Chain A
Amino acid sequence: MRKIFVLASLSVILLTAGCSKTEITKSGLKKTDFQTEIDGKKNDLYVLTNKNGMEVCMTNFGARIVSIFVPDKDHVFADVVLGFDSIGGYQNHKSDFGAFIGRYGNRINKGKFVLDGVDYQLETNNFGHCLHGGPKGFQYCMFDIKQINDQTLEVSYISADGEMGFPSRLTAKAVYTLTDDNAIDIKYEATTDKPTIVNLTNHSYFNLSGNPGKTILNQLLMLNADGYTPIDSTFMTTGEIAPVCCTPMDFRKPTKIGERINNYDFLQLKNGNGYDHNFVLNTARQDTVPAACIVDPESGRTLEVYTDEPGIQVYTGNFLDGTVTGKKGIVYQQRTAICLETQHFPDSPNKANWPSVVLRPGEKYTSHCIYKFGVMSKECITKCKENGTVNQDSCSKKNSCCKDKKAGVGCCKKLN
């Protein structure tokens, strides 16, 4: 009797497992809702899983990350990115949710630049500027996706010479690996047949609470950045690298995102409508040092970002306005997500005083971004919040979010 019961339960488990693998993902997405044809290419949903049960789903359209399903401190899983639960959502709403951004992430002033003495005019789409590759940037293009194994996808796209005004045929590729330490490791590569400019990134909208019905304003943010690049009222960088010290841009200690976000007396927050700024990282292009960290005190979920890029765009979902309904019927209100886009600085093609974004034939563009998820106890988070100097070992071996940062302490005092 007992034997039969065990067998029966086993077969139920096996059946469900088989079913969820082909039909419904753990995050609740239906594969069939993504199976269609776009621009003559097959669109599908791809699933990555690791030994901890973490799951990441991606689709061909814009090589978008559709869902990231991660546990909280009590081992309760939830989807921590904004998006749609069918391909139609992505096609019908202009958005960058989860997308592979290219050929040039962020803005180029009036869509103009000069390369080797030749003038180029890109298509413009944002305050007269070219944003995220123009009106049909990579986020609206069909990528080829190759599933290497359960934990690895290779996505690729060939951008034609002249597409959106960019010179050269660019072959762009990225390998997404869901590692067993709950990190999404993204390795970008690109080659070109003529000189061009490149800046590739991912535009995931994170809300670590798992409930994008709530804002991210109570979550903590740490940025390993002494400087940032100020913007004008059209979000265009001015060319300066200004110190964060003594400003609401200072996140060198873990700080509540919402603490100073409405301080519009500080012109940069007014210009950005909140945070929408490139931070100049202290990481010296090393992808082993944390560039940024978010902590959700409620769920205990943490996200660390590592990159070999010199900058990171912090965008706090200021333009979300309740007009878009996403996964599970949730309406996305203002500041219900935060984006951490690893990158070269905005408008670098027009800023000879910043690191170059030029790619030439024979060279290979590479960029590395790691989104590493974890959890932290309440006590640890409180400690972090209080002094921002807790050594990682006293909290959690896995999180360096609260690591002491040499320049972060006492600097404001010194200047005043």
Chain B
Amino acid sequence: MKKDSSAPENLSGLCREDFQKTVNGKNTDLYFLKNGKMEIAVTNYGCAVVAMMAPDRHGDYASVVLGHDSIEHVIHSPEPFLGTTIGRYGNRIAKGKFTLNGKEYNLTINNGPNSLHGGPKGYHAVVWDVICFSESSVDFTYTSPDGEEGFPGNLVINMLYTLTKDNEFVIRYKATTDQSTPINLTNHAFFNLAGISNPSPAVTNNILTINADFFIPIDEVSIPTGEILKVEGTPMDFRTPTVVGERIDAQHKQTIFGAGYDHCYALKKSYAKELSFAAKCIEPLSGRVLEVYTTEPGIQLYTGNWLNGFSGAHGATFPKRSAICFEAQHFPDTPNQAQFPASILNPGETYTQTTVYKFGIE
């Protein structure tokens, strides 16, 4: 006998009906990925991951991502990027301006003087089409029209969410364009490995490793200075397992500018596009462990410095630093920084990106 997926037997306790709505003529819905050990709930609105049920070392389940329990709350979330797909350009572009093939483009400004995460109506705030889905994967597509939020070219994106039997949440991106355009796609899951609750505990006790000798320093409006500096001797150093909160409020220019961690790390790789180890995060009380692997050159570490305590799924609240994000990406503001790995997609080329979030217990 098949069970109705909307029934509360889902580990997350989420109901499909609460996510079904028509937005700009497109239907939203809720999809579940299950492998017998984990359950992941995603909606096609911004491809937001709304719940990720993972066991702790005692076998007790909790959602390890900040999320909402209805489509209305997703759409009107005080944090619009909560668990969503980000594009066309993840992270910041200085003053929302860049020049490509001699032409200057102006993007929508939504973060101080800058464009952040593709603008206010970026890919986090549109309804994606679902090509097909099963308990192990959901295949999404979205066509971003020429000029959307100021970006050139019609960009056709295909994105596949997969949950493997080894508790890996795999995201594969592909995109093609009919005009040269900057591109930087990522996922903005806000992880809380202790499990969300009221209030969700701070992530400052998490033990973090980042496979990076270098990071991208920022200025007071979070734009890269253009340098690539050593983490050695700074609060940015996570080359060996270190408690997140140990130096988060250090009187260091970078932790001050970021109000904590909000920085891109230049990942150690033996070659470009290598799917390699990026980060490992351990929550010592629950024993939950997250490992991140990516083909991208960088990963943005964000410690939820701007979360303000708003409420999410089932009454959970999300105060400052109750989440940690690992956004696999090209470096911020690359369209204006010729010394970073290029983030331009040209007609005839295919953009690809793979990121793996692997869950475990220690």
Contacts and interface: CB of A to CB of B under 8 A. Distances in A.
A385 B336 CA distance: 30
Interface residues of B, number: 25
Contacts of A350: 270-271
A173 B159 CA distance: 40
B274 A353 contact: no
Nearest to B275: A117
B298 A353 contact: yes
A241 B267 contact: no
Contacts of B270: 114, 350
A356 B229 CA distance: 19
Interface stretch (B38-46, B182-190, B283-291, B338-346): B338-346
A221 B269 CA distance: 36
B17 to A, nearest CB: 46
B341 to A, nearest CB: 6
Interface in A86-116: 113-116
Interface residues of A, number: 29
Given A240-B214, A242-B229, 12 more contacts: A239-B228, A241-B226, A242-B227, A280-B339, A281-B338, A284-B336, A311-B339, A345-B339, A355-B339, A355-B340, A355-B342, A356-B342
21 contacts: A114-B274, A226-B226, A239-B213, A239-B228, A240-B227, A241-B226, A241-B228, A241-B229, A242-B227, A284-B336, A310-B339, A352-B297, A353-B214, A353-B266, A353-B298, A353-B331, A353-B341, A354-B340, A354-B341, A355-B340, A356-B342
B271 A352 contact: yes
Interface string A237-260: 011111100000000000000000
A238 B225 CA distance: 18
Interface in A351-368: 352-356, 358
A396 to B, nearest CB: 27
A352 B227 contact: no
Contacts of B225: 243
Interface in B303-345: 331, 336, 338-342
B228 A353 contact: yes
Nearest to A345: B339
A240 B228 contact: yes
Contacts of B174: none
Interface of A: 113-117, 226-227, 238-243, 280-281, 283-285, 310-311, 345, 349-350, 352-356, 358
B269 A352 contact: yes
Contact of B271 (A117, A227, A311, A355): A117
Count chain B CB atoms within 10 A of each CB in A115, A281, A355 and give the residue with the most: A355
B131 interface: no
A325 B168 CA distance: 65
A199 B338 CA distance: 16
A276 B320 CA distance: 47
Interface centre among A113, A241, A280 (most CB of B within 10 A): A241
Contacts of B297: 352-353
A356 B341 CA distance: 6
A283 B337 CA distance: 10
Contacts of A310: 338-339
Given A227-B226, A240-B214, A243-B227, A352 B339 contact: no
Residue of B226, B297, B339 with highest tally of chain A CB at under 10 A: B339
Contacts of A242: 227, 229
Interface in B90-146: 99
Contacts of A114: 270-271, 274
B339 A115 contact: no
B339 A241 contact: yes
A345 B336 CA distance: 18
B229 A240 contact: yes
Nearest to B269: A352
Contacts of B272: 352, 356, 358
